[in-house]
Structure 1
């Protein structure tokens, strides 16, 4: 944003502008988004549900092999950083890497501090999907994502005008189709509810023409 003299308003660690976040705001936004997403993942895992995207692939591998979700989720996202760097820039890539790493760590740590004695799968689907979607919304607004399909969805929204939520929903349904090999029909239905809640949260609330801060 330019001031009255035509010069851009400086943005530093604390100072921000109307069209750009400060570094401190980015750190807070990425941390908050990652924390919300990790809590949502914890709820889904407690109810043994799945979700779409690389997180869904992480759940599939966790349930079928017993591997750590955090490690699998972090590893699955590695190939997408090149696309992020080439298409969306270094800043986006660094922020996304930080968000994925923090979320991966939190998903491993939270179960030691948070347990659910009673958690109905439908409740887990609705609240877990909403938490992950809200977390991703916070990350999107700070020019970051949870990697994987989120990078592709955000790229297509910016380049082709396709709504990120709907793009990710289509990709997520492909992942959920694989869940038929490891889950019961009821779990699959609840997982679809979680994916729909997540992506509708993004589709309704994330539009680049309404929120343009960088």
Structure 2
């Protein structure tokens, strides 16, 4: 049975650090407040970043394992974009005062009959922002880094050139050695060879 003591300890410490950073962010968002539209959106951005930090804690060490982070297209399209629309809609409708596009969102929500639901869920605007950050982090995957293209390496070094050079050099040296070891034929022997007369 394999032991994962060091891995579990490092993962636990990483998650604890991420939770501490997220808690610090929530404290900062509480200090900012939500009294005005500007403060509201700053606080929601901080809360969303806290949720993202919690999720990214699972990806710490990705680079040391030969992996890289990428956005999963299917997860982004099927999960993140709908969450973005819903959370953005509710936060726009629940922002204090006369914020950006608040009147239009109220009118559209009333027209399609979801104004009551929007107001009820809007009471938990901080939870929505935190969940939005979590979903954004879950849209990222750790995948193996692409290996260097073999064809590109061969094009640079030449196909099998480095491996064949010692063998080719050895063959050339052996051929020169055989030629130097063979005695040269005399003119009389060359004449007999051309005429087909056997030599004694």
Q: Same fold (TM over 0.5)?
A: no
Question: When the two structures are superposed, what TM-score results if normalisation uses the length of structure 2?
Answer: 0.35
Larger radius of gyration: 2
Question: When the two structures are superposed, what TM-score results if normalisation uses the length of structure 1?
Answer: 0.33
Give the structure, 1 or 2, with the largest relative contact order (CA under 8 Å, sep 6 or more). Answer: 1
The structure with the greater share of residues assigned to strand is: 2
